[in-house]
């Protein structure tokens, strides 16, 4: 992932404590959509002094600053990813919880045409599809 959460924190005027730097790095390196407990496990591999409460506070702060987005991807726990205004598609396997990000220009174009027909111009598209393995 090319997004530096630490850089975004600094740009937003956040003080970068050692635990925040570790959490920011873990988030920047994530290729999935971790929940807070998974973030805590990963951060603890780097610094085992980081508490779960610190991870929760940091995630809430980053979400409030618009740096992280909370996603409901079909599990009981919120999952997180860097915020952004890029079109974004998720395909969620309900049986495993695995999330696949994908692009589909044809669908994007069709959605823009639908919106235009209703008198709207789309700024950003975010879609989540939920399914199970085909049998």
Which two three-digit tokens encode residue 63?
């979400």
* This model's pTM is above 0.85: no
CA angle 58, 61, 65 (to 5 degrees): 140
- pLDDT tens-digit readout, 61-104: 999 988 888 877 666 777 777 776 677 788 888 888 788 888 88
Please report which confidence band the pLDDT of residue 1 belongs to, taking 50, 70 and 90 as the band edges. Answer: very low
Residue 113 belongs to domain spanning: 88-131
Residues 13 and 72 in one domain: yes
Residues 27 and 56 in one domain: yes
Instruction: Please report, for the domain that includes residue 41, its CATH number.
Output: 1.10.10.10
- pLDDT tens-digit readout, 3-60: 688 888 888 888 999 999 999 999 888 878 888 999 999 999 999 999 999 999 999 9
Burial state string for 99-121 with b = 16 or more CB within 10 A and e = fewer than 16: beeeeeeeeeeeeeeeeeeeeee
Residues 96 and 77 in one domain: no
């Amino acid at each position: 992932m090319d997004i530096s959460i630490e850089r975004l924190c600094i740009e937003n005027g956040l003080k970068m404590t050692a635990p925040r730097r570790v959490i920011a790095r873990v988030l920047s390196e994530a290729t999935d959509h971790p929940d807070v407990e998974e973030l805590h496990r990963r951060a603890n591999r780097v610094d085992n002094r980081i508490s779960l409460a610190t991870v929760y506070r940091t995630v809430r702060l980053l979400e409030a600053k618009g740096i992280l987005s909370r996603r409901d991807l079909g599990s009981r726990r919120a999952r997180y990813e860097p915020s952004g205004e890029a079109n974004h598609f998720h395909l969620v396997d309900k049986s495993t919880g695995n999330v696949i990000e994908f692009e589909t220009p044809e669908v994007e174009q069709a959605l823009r045409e639908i919106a235009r027909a209703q008198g709207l111009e789309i700024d950003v598209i975010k879609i989540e599809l939920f399914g199970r393995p085909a049998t």
